Structure 1
């Protein structure tokens, strides 16, 4: 990082946020019917809004609370239950922008990372559906940002940013338990950097190691438990303090239940290759044939694997903790699914990993810029063209007919 910190590009970030929000919100209420897992989460959010009683107890409450808040503000309709997800995706884009700014203080690198994230088809789709994964991803990205800012903060601001990061991790777990391993990853990353800096404390100035770890755990757990507050006000089967911990066991049993095979299921190792995308929608809706295919932008999904491999190799060779951290973030985000005891896996579980691919690509571009002049511009053009190419089947645009999907099916394993 440069010795003299340049002014923060707030105007640039604001413009990116406006463009992202417009892109994610345009025709967001199309189709007007429930799509894919909205059939689970929207009814649960309605019950939560009415405080009538528990529903969809497999997952914590926060994501459904956010969907309910959208319906309370904008109506019990597609706009109401999807707009919070659009805001979450915009937060992801801006989070990536500021993470890269904190790491490199380079406007171009931050812009490229944000644009890659915005045009990453998965981020677009998850920002236009009332599901939980978009909220979890937003809190995770913002948590990474807060913890990084804590690492570089002056002593009088270290603790407040560390606590903010811990709160955000707790909120991510309050959406889905799949975020819990990131708390452990944050702790391990903190200890690794502390060990590397053992001769001189370059990061988290003035913060002792054991109190920091204790705070991370205590604050994230307390925040997670507080997300259950609405359940204490249910008209039927209200939560109690005595029942809060046993309820976690009920959730665990729900999540580890053996389920029958599903046509869209896939194994975790296949997600980076995008072998089995998922049709969130393919039917006649709102007087037209429409489709929403959950897939990633191929240039990002596959090109990002090369960027992660380069970050890992260069990080080892150069002993660069930033490169190793980004490669490790993607690797851990995928490998946790090899450990989590879920009977079925789906491509959308890969969503956080896809976000880290954009980080890896931007970082690789930052380091190779002098040796591969203009490659970033050409690569962004390819990414943008692929986004436009797939747009009709990721935005529920009216299609010519039931067989129209064949135009976009590149491989036999694509549905």
Structure 2
């Protein structure tokens, strides 16, 4: 039992015992975790204490969904990059880096929310791009937009971070697709499908949450429900007891108020907290687990593949440099067509939104908050790398092949080298010290 499994595992099993709980995030992620547990007849009652062995408790169904979505995420990124209009080489490199990033793998192995959230963020973007293929109001157009609305509703109902992709898609609809210069019927339908429907799904998730948890909370009502928190939200009568007779909308509003207050709680801190500007450099990984076995110790870290994370900076900085040079300093350098794809803007916008959205957050932040931006940086790097090869190795097929093999090998070596920190393999003190390239990683 490691890290936030103590919370999310506990909350997921509340849907099996039907006892109410409160959490600072919307409930859908925990509901989805509970579905495999329900079908596998997992019995509630396990205490979910950090560091405690599962014993006879059947934890595998609770870990199923993050593991499954994490395993198909590289394929989704491959399809997304293809839908963005880039080559199979770019798509393969992007998927390969997602596949062999240690942090993404770690987050997929446990009862955690972030991979579920990341999957639906990028599924939403893929479905949005797919919907652009089809004639407006055709059967496929309607179908793809309905699935997009469901995906958007799912993302915002897992964590509020999901609202980022909703904002990105609406920015693209308004400014790239010039929505308000189209037919009025299309405007109305898109507002209904891609704005009202996701928000309606968000509300319905809470309605289901209240319906499934009719029993009062007796213990383990939620980690944030300490005396200080009770004092701050004492005017909100519903945040810990679903047995109070109230209207559904009142419950919904009061619970979201309590979530908002807790999300902006600045009194708490965490030893492995980190600031948003340090995330691209992976300056402060998170130690999830540590256990000694004589002369060796097992560690599990939220720790990325340094070659994926650090090379990703090149893609982001490289494109911002070219934009500044071309549009602000009239620097007209003849570049391969790859650099001029209009969909580069989508990737830069995604990276900017999922990095800048944490700038104003006063509550402590952690490295895993960077995961959506990381994947945008991975795709940007892959496209940038393709453009560089087109510039300097266009006439040398062997040169291009050697460069690709070199990058793929570097990523594979980084993954294997740091894999003991991913899988919790016992390592000696000497080996551990060798892997701690930066003092802040300890």
Any residues of structure 2 matched to 1:81-100 within 5 Å, and which? 81-100=62-81
Distance 1:92 1:259 in 2: 35
CA contact (8 A) 1:158 1:207 kept: no
Any residues of structure 2 matched to 1:1-400 within 5 Å, and which? 34-55=1-22, 57-74=23-40, 75=42, 76-104=57-85, 106-155=87-136, 156=138, 157-195=140-178, 208-209=186-187, 211-228=189-206, 229-234=208-213, 235-236=215-216, 237-238=241-242, 240-242=247-249, 243-284=251-292, 289-314=297-322, 317=326, 320-339=341-360, 341-370=361-390, 371-372=392-393, 373-374=400-401, 375-400=403-428
How far has the Cα of 1:250 moved from its partner? 1.2
Q: Which structure would you say has the larger Rg?
A: 2
Distance 1:400 1:69 in 2: 40
Q: Secondary structure at the residue paired with 1:218? A: helix
CA contact (8 A) 2:97 2:411 kept: yes
Given the two structures, how large is their TM-score scaled by the length of structure 2?
0.78
Q: CA deviation digits over 1:203-251, x for unaligned, max 9?
A: xx99834542443110110121222213213222438513112211111
CA pair 336-190 structure 1, distance change in 2 beyond 3 A: same
Q: Which structure 1 segments of 5+ residues have no match?
A: 1-33
Distance 2:180 2:94 in 1: 28
Task: State the match for 1:408 in structure 2.
Answer: 435
**Off by >6 Å, runs of 4+ in structure 1:** none
How far has the Cα of 1:384 moved from its partner? 0.6
Q: CA deviation digits over 1:162-192, x for unaligned, max 9?
A: 2322221111111111111221121012222
CA pair 306-230 structure 1, distance change in 2 beyond 3 A: same
Q: Secondary structure at the residue paired with 2:90? A: helix
Given the two structures, how large is their TM-score scaled by the length of structure 1?
0.83
CA RMSD, Structure 1 to Structure 2 (Å):
2.6
CA contact (8 A) 1:314 1:320 kept: no
Task: State the match for 1:19 in structure 2.
Answer: none
Distance 2:284 2:185 in 1: 45
How far has the Cα of 1:284 moved from its partner? 4.0
Q: CA deviation digits over 1:326-374, x for unaligned, max 9?
A: 11211111000013x3411111111111121221122223333433423
CA contact (8 A) 1:259 1:344 kept: no
Q: Secondary structure at the residue paired with 1:53? A: coil
CA pair 271-360 structure 1, distance change in 2 beyond 3 A: same
How far has the Cα of 1:261 moved from its partner? 2.7
How far has the Cα of 1:257 moved from its partner? 1.6
Q: Higher mean Cα deviation, 298-307 or 101-110? A: 101-110
CA contact (8 A) 1:315 1:322 kept: no
CA pair 359-131 structure 1, distance change in 2 beyond 3 A: same
Q: Which structure 2 segments of 5+ residues have no match?
A: 43-56, 217-240, 327-338, 394-399
Q: CA deviation digits over 1:237-274, x for unaligned, max 9?
A: 43851311221111111211223332111111111111
